[in-house]
Amino acid sequence: MRAACAAGFVATILAAAGADDKPAKPPEGFAALYNGTDLKGWKATGKADQWSAEPGLIACKGGGGGWLLTEAEYADFELRFEYRWTKEGGNSGVALRTADKGDPSQVGMEIQLIDDENWAKVHKFELKDYQHTGSVYGLAPAKGRKNSPVGEWNAVRVVCKGDAVTIEQNGTELVSADLAELRKKAPKHAGVQRPKGHVGFQSYNSRVEFRNPWLKELK
């Protein structure tokens, strides 16, 4: 059943995606976090000029931009979005339930987005298990890889419901984490203690594009 739901999500988001210059309409119950015109509702923690609102896209131009976080905070939610790399060796991330100051991998949760297949070739070192795409950075390694080729879109679905965190990419579940267990594993990690916070995207090293970020708050 879960696999069927994941496959249905990917089919829905890719069918709705349309042209890059026009954001798709969110599914019922979801709100669009990007208006397709400007970055209203978002704030940068680093160099703001590294982030741009482009037709249909939120673009991170390269490194130095820190994080682009929502102004609003969320507790239990389902987040959907797409992203793509424009060249090999890219690195980025997704912030969940993070404070607006500090490193989201410590004061919130960071979900890793990285070009797994080409990283070692470009950067000359191997990734640790918790650094692969979909991992809760430093805490919960992804169970596998399901990346689209560089230049193609990846569809991501994140569900945070109480202590349960699920990460899916392109229809495959990569992480199903229990925060109660992660608190035992890393009792000093402030992020897994937080019941709510901001969500957002990371500027790390190279251009990465995001589109159709949709969020539904869960009760």
* Domain range annotation of the chain: 2-217
Residue 3 has pLDDT above 70, yes or no: no
Mean pLDDT of 132-161: 98
> pLDDT digit string (tens) for 63-98?
999 999 999 999 999 999 999 999 999 999 999 999
Confidence of residue 20 (pLDDT cuts 50, 70, 90): low
Residue 154 has pLDDT above 90, yes or no: yes
Residue 120 has pLDDT above 70, yes or no: yes
**Domain 2-217 superfamily per CATH:** Exo-inulinase; domain 1 (2.60.120.560)
pLDDT recorded at residue 23 = 83
Question: Measured between alpha carbons, how far is 109 from 99 in angstroms, rounded to an integer?
Answer: 10
Mean pLDDT of 154-159: 98
Q: Is 122 exposed, middle or buried (0-12, 13-18, 19+ CB in 10 A)?
A: middle
Which amino acid, 62? Answer: G
pLDDT recorded at residue 134 = 98
Mean pLDDT of 131-147: 97
Q: Which residue has the tokens 């991170």?
A: 60
pTM of the shown model: 0.91
Mean pLDDT of 160-189: 98
The percent of residues in the chain predicted with pLDDT above 90, rounded, is 89
pLDDT recorded at residue 21 = 72
Q: How far is CA 163 from CA 39, 69, 95, 100, 179, in A?
A: 30, 22, 16, 21, 5
Residue 19 has pLDDT above 80, yes or no: no
